Structure 1
Amino acid sequence: MSIVITPAMLKRIAPTASPAIIEHLAPALTARFPERPFDVTTENRAAHFLCHAAHETDGFRTLVEYGDTAYFRRYDGRKDLGNETPGDGPRYRGRGIFQLTGRFNYRIFGNRIRVDLEGNPARAAEPDISVQTALHYWNDRRLNPLADRDDIVATTKKINGGRNGLADRKAKLIRAKAALQGRPAAQAIHEIRQESAKATTASKRAITGTAAAGGTGLGTGTAAPKPAAGFDYGLAAVIVITVAAMGFLGVRAWMKSRDAKAFAADAALGSGE
């Protein structure tokens, strides 16, 4: 199956996208997706790739990592990145869809696509080259099978190393699927708002659970009798378990509240049409 990507589709995924970037990214994606060994030839594979691409490029607004020269100097001397010459940090800053970083990666990926990125690092931010390096990165991490399972958590962990920006990636995945399937953008926004509502409800439940845990055996004055003498191991166990439960629920409440805000912020961007 051949996947055709248009600038209009990319704008639906990321309504604040740079017109100059998506104008050149779209044909590059269409041309490179079916190439071997990438084989991004199904809606799920394309949708997952595009949602992560949109997130990592700040909504297709940049193909160069944000920051000034002073900021990137902290990467000078990073042997794990191959940065052994003064100035390598700024010179080999993150570029491309998935932020190719470090002299070593510029050399390796440049050799794979037959472009001297080590000698011409700025070229890593060219749309077609960005697509090629990103697809090699995607293939190296065997992300197609995870996309086939529609596992956004697993693909996020493979790309990010954790769950950073998961709600935003989920929102963009919803948009990408709708765009690829030709469904109305309004339908995608409705789904994103539903996700925001679900996260808000989960946050409130966690807050209620935290309050309930705090009132169990602590502060009620009735749940656990005071020991006549010595150390009450039973009471200590209750305290430890209660505090742990409150901590877990408190963190969950915060995370779900954060997710709700991320979904709401994405929905507020509009349809992109």
Structure 2
Amino acid sequence: MTRTGGKIYDTATKKCNCPEGKKEDDNGNCVDDCDTSKEDLKKVFPNMSDSKAETLAKIINDKGRDFGIDSNEDLWHFLAQAGHETGGFNKLSVTESTYWTTASKLAKTYKKFTMDSIKAKNDKNLYYAPDYLKNSSDVANIAMCCRYGNGNVASGHGYRYRGRGIFQLTWKDNYKAFKTWYNNKYDPDIDPVSNPDIIASNDTLAVLSGMWYYKTRVVDKITISSSTTVKAVTKPINSATKGLSDRKKKFQKAKDSINCK
């Protein structure tokens, strides 16, 4: 083999290829190969399985730029946020749980539930919390009804369009918007509106739906640079900045472990 123009000419195959550690860019030039590896991800998330790490790394490398994840800072922030939401990427296909065992917490979390049985009896818009323990579908249908494309309680949309994927894609309007974007960009035959469980049963769609959510909430709204704080990125995802300390720790771990120059 001989070198020519930064590439290596293979006399056997009569093809020019970039040397190890380099890859060809859109202009045909050899540039540093900054693909994220399984090993990179496991430095940040040590409890992540090899198979999950391989899947996530491949999606980031193949599709990350489509979602504006194309710099160190972009990747660090994405991993910090998605890593927190998935508990360290123990799972990629995450489905929101609406199962409650404590009535008081249910009533405290959702205003449509009350611990006052008299109020619930006299107000058709209130529900007596103790009656709905261990009933995931009813809780979701009540709590998530009548907004963002979801129909009334009887429609079942609350449970049907509950959170799925690494960023918990929720509400019918969001499922529809993701479907339109995905169909136009990748595959016209995927329909998460008629089959929302596909987001939970398919690791790739679980990640891509999360990337889409991250793009629409963060990348399209915030210019991420070296001075962007974790709190600034967290607010569009969780307005109460819940879990901020853990998100900061994961960001710092990603920054310390992954650096492509």
TM-score (norm: length of structure 2) = 0.61
Any stretches of 5+ residues in structure 2 without a counterpart? 1-31, 100-133, 184-189
**For residue 95 of structure 2, what is the aligned residue in structure 1?**
65
- Determine if the alignment matches structure 1 residue 135 to structure 2 residue 211: yes
Distance 1:137 1:117 in 2: 14
Following superposition, which runs of at least 4 residues in structure 1 exceed 3 angstroms of deviation? Answer: none
Looking at secondary structure, tell me which structure has more helix per residue. Answer: 1
Deviations 1:136-195 (A, max 9, x none): 22222343513543311100111111221111001100111122128xxxxxxxxxxxxx
Q: What SS does structure 1 have at the residue aligned with 2:90?
A: coil
**For residue 53 of structure 2, what is the aligned residue in structure 1?**
22
Q: How does 1:43-122 map to 2 (within 5 A)?
A: 43-62=72-91, 63-67=93-97, 68=99, 70-76=135-141, 78-84=145-151, 85-114=154-183, 115-122=190-197
Any stretches of 5+ residues in structure 1 without a counterpart? 183-273
Q: What SS does structure 1 have at the residue aligned with 2:237?
A: helix
- Determine if the alignment matches structure 1 residue 7 to structure 2 residue 38: yes
Q: How far apart are 1:61 and its partner, in Å?
A: 1.6
Distance 1:138 1:172 in 2: 16
Q: How far apart are 1:132 and its partner, in Å?
A: 2.5
Alpha-carbon spacing, 1:104–1:54, altered in 2? closer, same or farther (3 Å): same
Contact 2:38 2:57 in 1 (8 A): yes
State the aligned residue count.
Answer: 180
Return the letter of the residue paired with 1:75: A
Alpha-carbon spacing, 1:171–1:98, altered in 2? closer, same or farther (3 Å): same
Q: How far apart are 1:2 and its partner, in Å?
A: 6.9
Return the letter of the residue paired with 2:193: E
Alpha-carbon spacing, 1:123–1:148, altered in 2? closer, same or farther (3 Å): farther
Q: How far apart are 1:25 and its partner, in Å?
A: 1.7
- Determine if the alignment matches structure 1 residue 157 to structure 2 residue 157: no
Q: Percent identity?
A: 31
- Determine if the alignment matches structure 1 residue 145 to structure 2 residue 223: yes
Of the candidates 65, 68, 71, which is equivalent to residue 42 of structure 1? 71
